[in-house]
Amino acid sequence: MLGIERSGEQIAEAMRQAAADNEADILEMRQGDVLDPPFRDDEMGQFDVAHARFVLEHIPDPLEVVRNMARAVRPGGRVILSDDDYNGLRLWPEPPGFSSVWNAYQRTYDRHGNDPIVGRRLVQLLHQAGLLPRRNTLVFFGGCAGDPDFEDVVRNIASIVDEAIGDITTTGLSRDAVTAALDALIDWGKSPDSAVWFGMSWAEAVRPV
Ligand SMILES: C[S@@+](CC[C@H](N)C(=O)[O-])C[C@H]1O[C@@H](n2cnc3c(N)ncnc32)[C@H](O)[C@@H]1O
């Protein structure tokens, strides 16, 4: 199995997790850019499966990445994309101030030339890359008060916003408004009627034979 990642830190973490699962000997990580992947010539068109998760949302030209994946797999091989559609997040009853912060978070993607709703484009990207779409689904992340993992779900949403707080304030919201909304979100998560729905988009296609 070959992984491509541009961050040395992420590569070290991937290798650490593989070692913890006794899988280090089946994983090779190469440092590089998915827009110009570090494949050897003899590897092109040889892979059974190419998978990208939470990467396309960081790239202004996701189609170029999917084209590279299409070139990497053998005829009949499979390309699997999973990514976010941030406009699909639902929280109910709505925590005070959260929707304006979440909208501002999505606008930070636009400002970097990235697409906060790339998840809904996955089948289209596969088609545009010359592949044959075969599957489109959602992987559910969410829950409600009373689920053992619900606190983690809410904290994960809060940490996504918290990590982007500098960018969010450039959209016009004040740091105080964002911090207040995050505090309200954490409190909201303790309420017995709070619920979250979020689906990670997942789509698959095959390379024509
Ligand atoms: C949200 S993380 C997802 C990491 C991993 N794929 C996962 O699903 O857990 C996004 C990753 O994409 C990497 N990345 C962003 N742009 C890249 C590029 N052009 N080439 C290679 N890696 C890139 C970042 O370094 C970061 O580790």
What's the pLDDT at 78? 98
14: amino acid identity, one letter: A
pLDDT band at 171 (very low <50, low <70, confident <90, very high): confident
CA 113 to ligand 1 centroid distance, Å: 16
Q: Is the pLDDT reported for residue 7 higher than 90?
A: yes
Of 1, 4, 5, 53, which is best to mutate to test ligand 1, by the most ligand atoms within 8 angstroms of its C-beta? 5
Atom number in ligand 1 closest to CA 10: 27
Residue nearest to atom 25 of ligand 1 (CA): 7
Residue 170: alpha-carbon gap to chain centroid: 23
Residue 122 CB partners (closer than 8 Å, separation 6+):
56, 81, 82, 83, 136, 201, 202, 203
CA 195 to ligand 1 centroid distance, Å: 29
Architecture of domain 33-206: 3-Layer(aba) Sandwich (3.40)
Distance of alpha carbon 85 from alpha carbon 57, whole angstroms: 9
Of 17, 33, 36, 55, which is best to mutate to test ligand 1, by the most ligand atoms within 8 angstroms of its C-beta? 55
Atom number in ligand 1 closest to CA 35: 19
Q: Is the pLDDT reported for residue 40 higher than 90?
A: yes
What's the pLDDT at 12? 98
pLDDT band at 149 (very low <50, low <70, confident <90, very high): very high
CA 55 to ligand 1 centroid distance, Å: 5
Model confidence pLDDT, tens digit, residues 47-66: 999 999 999 999 999 999 99
Determine the average pLDDT of the residues in 148-153: 96
Model confidence pLDDT, tens digit, residues 11-22: 999 999 999 999
Distance of alpha carbon 89 from alpha carbon 200, whole angstroms: 10
Residue nearest to atom 18 of ligand 1 (CA): 33
Domain residue spans of the chain? 33-206
Lining residues, ligand 1, CB within 6 Å: 5-7, 10, 33-35, 53-55, 58-59
Q: What is the pTM of this model?
A: 0.94
Q: Exposure pattern of 100-124 as b/e (b: 16+ CB <10 Å)?
A: ebbebbbbbbeeeebbbbbbbbbbe
Q: Is the pLDDT reported for residue 75 higher than 90?
A: yes
Average confidence score pLDDT of the chain = 97
What's the pLDDT at 62? 98
Determine the average pLDDT of the residues in 80-90: 97
Angle subtended by helix axes 98-111 and 150-163, to nearest 10: 50
What's the pLDDT at 111? 87
Determine the average pLDDT of the residues in 4-27: 97
Percent of the chain beyond pLDDT 90?
98
Q: Is there a contact between 95 and 104 (Cβ–Cβ < 8 Å)?
A: no
Model confidence pLDDT, tens digit, residues 93-113: 999 999 999 999 999 999 899
